[in-house]
Structure 1
Amino acid sequence: MKTLLVRALRLCVPPGKRGCSGGVQKEIRVRFAPSPTGFLHLGGLRTALYNYLFAKKHGGAFILRLEDTDQSRLVPGAADGIEDMLEWAGIPPDESPRQGGPHGPYVQSKRLTLYHEVVQTLLESGAAYRCFCTPQRLELLKKEAFRSRQTPRYDNRCRHLTTNQVQEKLSQSLPFVVRFQLSTGPQAFQDMVYGWTQHDVASVEGDPVILKGDGFPTYHLANVVDDNHMAVTHVLRGEEWLISTTKHLLLYRALGWKPPLYAHLPLLLNKDGSKLSKRQGDIFIQHYEQKGYLADTLLDIITNCGSGFAGNQMGRTLPQLIQQYDLGSTSTHSALLDLDKLPEFNRVHLTRWIDDADTRVQLVSQLQTLLQEKYRDVTFDKEYIERILLLRRGHLCMLTDLLCPNYAYLWIRPSVRMEDLHLLSSEASGIGSLTVRLLQNNHNDMSLEMLNKELRSHLQQLRATKYSTSMKVLRLALSGLETGPSVVEMMLSLGPQESISRLQNALSR
């Protein structure tokens, strides 16, 4: 393992730097290669993020490549949606279908000529062959395997066709696929996460299809060809591809190409150990964006539950994730994702956004838009919205919390009857009058500490009403609520003029 990591670190020298031998070191290049058969979900975001972190940690390039060779399963809008979500998450690719780059196109369906050229090379060398077996025959093989309680596998029948037999079938225009001829015996390789691994794939599988009847390559061929032609140095992908890596390395050998280094990442699972399922509906990134979660929150929680970091801590920013990420410390244990903690993670990041002047401007603009959609006939001042955010920071899990009924008093005046105030205290009028006088006298000098002190001092003049009862009267007059933030915070939020107007309005009623 140490040998491999040393080799990897040598590759991590920024482009243009020279090693002891005087040779120019290769630029780190990694790729995220999803299939647009669905929208980006949490598991995909985690794989993309780990690739992004590795690239930025070592001054390399992060590539987005869309593997759309399964044309029958493509979902309209998914291709654009994937790149949209990477940009929203703050981890945009350096090269992609949208960004372009020196190794494009970055969509596999636009690279068919290249795959066909490689397949022809493999056919000519004898490393691949045409298979004319019909779907009916393959189905019979599968049924027979199940009947014998064996794992279904292709029997490599067409591997043994002579050149004349192949030409005869081609002259008859019989449909065919192209299969790659697997080598027998275990094939060992060193994975940067799982260490030395070996699989004798030929003993459990038949020769895999690398070019389908529709002219499109399978994943096994396309990812090898593209990784080589895009100069990918490291492949960080899910552990479900660990067994297939042997086939990919055999393809590299047959083509005479140098393979990249592989690191297979453990799965991201639900907290009960079950697999994340698209049927859950709430694992797609768009879902969290629409709910109002911050991108920083998602990046934080999907790395908090996994490995690659010295310790789990809440509230890490993307620059901190880049700095702390260490591929060599990645564990082989699956990562358990506790989505119940998502609101608390968002509270931490939202507080940080409110504290920062630049990101606070973004939040003010977002909240202003949300308020105008909810209260169409009301105009909201940005300075007022900013004051609300600063006063409620640390208490909000979501920006949309401020649109809840309990916060409606901040945006519209409540309707409060004097009779309701008198039910709380017979001195309701006196409570309101004293508070109005206090606000008028301290109009330009309002602070949390001052108001708390002065309000208590003024209301002690009312001997028939407890201070806690006076607070209930004022809270009801200011907000129409029986519970909620402190009265002093309400006054600071609304400002002295609005607070006076609401108290006088309630008293007049």
Structure 2
Amino acid sequence: MVRVRFAPSPTGFLHLGGLRTALYNFLFAQKHGGRFILRLEDTDQSRVVPGAADGIEDMLEWAGIPPDESPRQGGPVGPYRQSQRLDLYQEATEELLGKGAAYRCFCTPQRLELLKKAALRERQTPRYDNRCRHLSPQQVAEKVAQGADSVVRFRLEDGSEPFCDLVYGWTKHEVASVEGDPVILKSDGFPTYHLANVVDDHHMRISHVLRGWEWLVSTSKHLLLYRAFAWDPPRFAHLPLLLNADGSKLSKRQGHVFVEQFAQDGYLPAALLDAITNCGSGFAENRMGRTLEELVAEFDVGKIEKHSALLDLEQLSEFNRIHLARQIGDERSRPALVAEVQESVERVYGEQLTDRGVLEKAYVEQVLLLRKGHISRLQDLVSPTHAFLWIRPTVPHEELQAISPEADDIGRLVLELLDQSVATLTVEQLNGDLRQLPARVRVTQYSVMMKLLRMALSGLQQGPGVAEMMVSLGRGEAQARIRRALSS
């Protein structure tokens, strides 16, 4: 059975790169009828941020890709926090020590720092010199009896085997020739990533590991650990980097890389998932507007390309516009949008709402349908540009006269037009009728007339089309606003 995992460290908010890794794991599991596991790698307790673990799972649920097994959901191979699995790592370490595949290292931090400085002076890559791997069992026992602090290191051996990465193909790194023996268990009893991820992936029966490209060079080391344990390793697929459109690295210092911020800013989960897959690979073709169901159906790990994916966040508004229009047009999802707009209008305008009828479901639904395809986020509907939908503007008659001396004549003709229009106003019909009016007011140009009517209806010089405003407001309200502006 396919079992994949997303294993972030709870050191802060979930960022876009992490979301894409989680998504690809979710898509792979869904594609193959498997299970998607969330495991929190919190063995470095100094970096753990309170609340980050819950935040990561909250954002996966918000995005519509909840794990099947997790710290919150539970599952058959828990616990799902590494800090709660220390006995398992200790047991694994003792097994490696017993086999001679690992050894205790008593080198002090000061000695290790001197080794590092010496290597840098020689312009070499710092590496441990494996000094303690040559200690005899008696020497080790004496140091343990003396209470000397120690870590456990894995004995790297020559002969790394090549492996076939599902993205990068056949790969091999002779780690023993370029690295010192790595620490697998620290002096505080916590494992390092190298041991913990191998032990957990084995005991959690992970079949495929889809993780970031930065771990590709460590995989040969991990395969040596699998061989030392006599365990069968999973298949590996390393995902290329997700970069900014200019090729620079996505930085956690940039607020716009955190998923939580996008959620707070009103972006839809479907739009964000669509954007981070559209810029990358894993699909036969890239196209805007894919739903999660379509992403699952079209995903193919064999089509993930080796080059980095360039994410243009300036296009996110267009992705959101497409997905928002789809949700507005869907009778199943529209009620939730109506409720969200009602709440936003109440919050933003509050006591300014002289007519509470604007909060009624039918009115808000009509607004959504008329603005479908024109707005990128629901928040746009409570922006100053759309304030006319919820509160009546105060427009002095002098301002209308300043736009056109024929303001009164224009207002009278538009009121007559609205009286004579068919029972149901449509944008198309009104646009056609409004274009005929300038001929009846010979001095006024069509653009001037539109500017005047927009001011009377909304108090704004720019904004949605006049016909759209009238249909959104309804015949009675549009007439009331025009009369009010002419008589003020």
Shorter-chain TM-score category? over 0.9
Matching residue of 2:46: 72
Q: Deviations over 1:298-349 (max 9, x none)?
A: 1111111111111111111111110110001111111111112111111111
2:410 to 423, 431, 438: 431
1:57 to 4, 13, 31: 31
Matching residue of 2:132: 158
Partner Cα separation in structure 1 for residue 368 and residue 273 of structure 2: 23
Give runs of aligned pairs for residues 265-414 of structure 1, distance below 5 A: 265-377=239-351, 378=353, 379=356, 380-414=359-393
Q: Deviations over 1:481-509 (max 9, x none)?
A: 22322211110010111111111111221
Give the conservation status (yes or no) of the 8 Å contact 2:268–2:324: yes
Q: Deviations over 1:147-174 (max 9, x none)?
A: 2221111111111111111111111111
1:471 to 440, 450, 462: 450
Give runs of aligned pairs for residues 185-224 of structure 1, distance below 5 A: 185-224=159-198
Give the conservation status (yes or no) of the 8 Å contact 1:211–1:218: yes
Give the conservation status (yes or no) of the 8 Å contact 1:475–1:482: yes
Does 1:421 pair with 2:400? yes
The alignment-based identity, stated in percent, is 64
2:470 to 491, 494, 505: 491
1:228 to 202, 211, 225: 202
The Cα of 1:464 is off from its aligned counterpart by: 4.3
Q: Deviations over 1:35-54 (max 9, x none)?
A: 01121100000100000000
Partner Cα separation in structure 1 for residue 423 and residue 41 of structure 2: 63
Partner Cα separation in structure 2 for residue 74 and residue 53 of structure 1: 28
Matching residue of 2:2: 28
The Cα of 1:473 is off from its aligned counterpart by: 2.3
Q: Deviations over 1:338-372 (max 9, x none)?
A: 11211111111111121112222222211221111
Gaps of 5+ in 1: 1-26
Give the conservation status (yes or no) of the 8 Å contact 2:274–2:290: yes
Give the conservation status (yes or no) of the 8 Å contact 1:68–1:74: yes
CA separation of 1:273/1:449 partners in 2, compared to 1, >3 Å: closer, same or farther?
A: closer
Give the conservation status (yes or no) of the 8 Å contact 1:29–1:231: yes
CA separation of 1:141/1:455 partners in 2, compared to 1, >3 Å: closer, same or farther?
A: closer
Partner Cα separation in structure 2 for residue 225 and residue 130 of structure 1: 19
The Cα of 1:468 is off from its aligned counterpart by: 3.6
Give runs of aligned pairs for residues 85-96 of structure 1, distance below 5 A: 85-96=59-70
Partner Cα separation in structure 1 for residue 132 and residue 442 of structure 2: 101
Partner Cα separation in structure 2 for residue 457 and residue 186 of structure 1: 81
Partner Cα separation in structure 2 for residue 468 and residue 144 of structure 1: 77
Partner Cα separation in structure 1 for residue 94 and residue 435 of structure 2: 88
In the superposition, the TM-score normalised over structure 2's length comes to 0.96
Does 1:142 pair with 2:116? yes
What one-letter code is carried by the residue in structure 2 that aligns with 1:151?
T
Give the conservation status (yes or no) of the 8 Å contact 1:52–1:91: yes
2:429 to 450, 467, 476: 450
Partner Cα separation in structure 2 for residue 179 and residue 256 of structure 1: 18
Partner Cα separation in structure 2 for residue 134 and residue 231 of structure 1: 37
Counterpart secondary structure, 2:424:
coil
Partner Cα separation in structure 2 for residue 126 and residue 426 of structure 1: 97
Partner Cα separation in structure 1 for residue 30 and residue 336 of structure 2: 26
Give the conservation status (yes or no) of the 8 Å contact 1:193–1:332: yes
What one-letter code is carried by the residue in structure 1 that aligns with 2:291?
T
1:244 to 211, 218, 236: 218
CA separation of 1:147/1:469 partners in 2, compared to 1, >3 Å: closer, same or farther?
A: closer
Moved more, 478-487 or 88-97: 478-487
What one-letter code is carried by the residue in structure 2 that aligns with 1:109?
S
Matching residue of 1:501: 480
Give the conservation status (yes or no) of the 8 Å contact 2:160–2:224: no
Give the conservation status (yes or no) of the 8 Å contact 1:451–1:488: yes
What one-letter code is carried by the residue in structure 2 that aligns with 1:484?
G
What one-letter code is carried by the residue in structure 1 that aligns with 2:292?
L
Moved more, 436-445 or 75-84: 436-445
Moved more, 28-37 or 272-281: 272-281
The Cα of 1:443 is off from its aligned counterpart by: 6.8
Moved more, 373-382 or 487-496: 373-382
What one-letter code is carried by the residue in structure 2 that aligns with 1:120?
E
The Cα of 1:466 is off from its aligned counterpart by: 3.7
CA separation of 1:149/1:358 partners in 2, compared to 1, >3 Å: closer, same or farther?
A: same
1:116 to 90, 100, 116: 90
What one-letter code is carried by the residue in structure 2 that aligns with 1:43?
G
Partner Cα separation in structure 2 for residue 463 and residue 239 of structure 1: 69
Partner Cα separation in structure 1 for residue 414 and residue 361 of structure 2: 27
Matching residue of 1:24: none
In the superposition, the TM-score normalised over structure 1's length comes to 0.92
The Cα of 1:244 is off from its aligned counterpart by: 0.7
Counterpart secondary structure, 1:235:
strand
Partner Cα separation in structure 1 for residue 443 and residue 164 of structure 2: 81
Give the conservation status (yes or no) of the 8 Å contact 1:194–1:332: yes
Partner Cα separation in structure 2 for residue 278 and residue 109 of structure 1: 24
What one-letter code is carried by the residue in structure 2 that aligns with 1:124?
G
Partner Cα separation in structure 2 for residue 361 and residue 295 of structure 1: 17
Give the conservation status (yes or no) of the 8 Å contact 1:132–1:175: yes
Give the conservation status (yes or no) of the 8 Å contact 1:434–1:459: no
Give the conservation status (yes or no) of the 8 Å contact 1:443–1:496: no
What one-letter code is carried by the residue in structure 2 that aligns with 1:335?
A
Moved more, 394-403 or 426-435: 426-435
What one-letter code is carried by the residue in structure 2 that aligns with 1:123?
L
Q: Deviations over 1:220-276 (max 9, x none)?
A: 010011101111000000111011111111111111111101111111111222211
Partner Cα separation in structure 1 for residue 146 and residue 336 of structure 2: 66
Give the conservation status (yes or no) of the 8 Å contact 1:308–1:325: yes
Partner Cα separation in structure 1 for residue 434 and residue 126 of structure 2: 81
The Cα of 1:386 is off from its aligned counterpart by: 1.5
Number of residue pairs the alignment of both structures matches: 483
Partner Cα separation in structure 1 for residue 268 and residue 403 of structure 2: 42
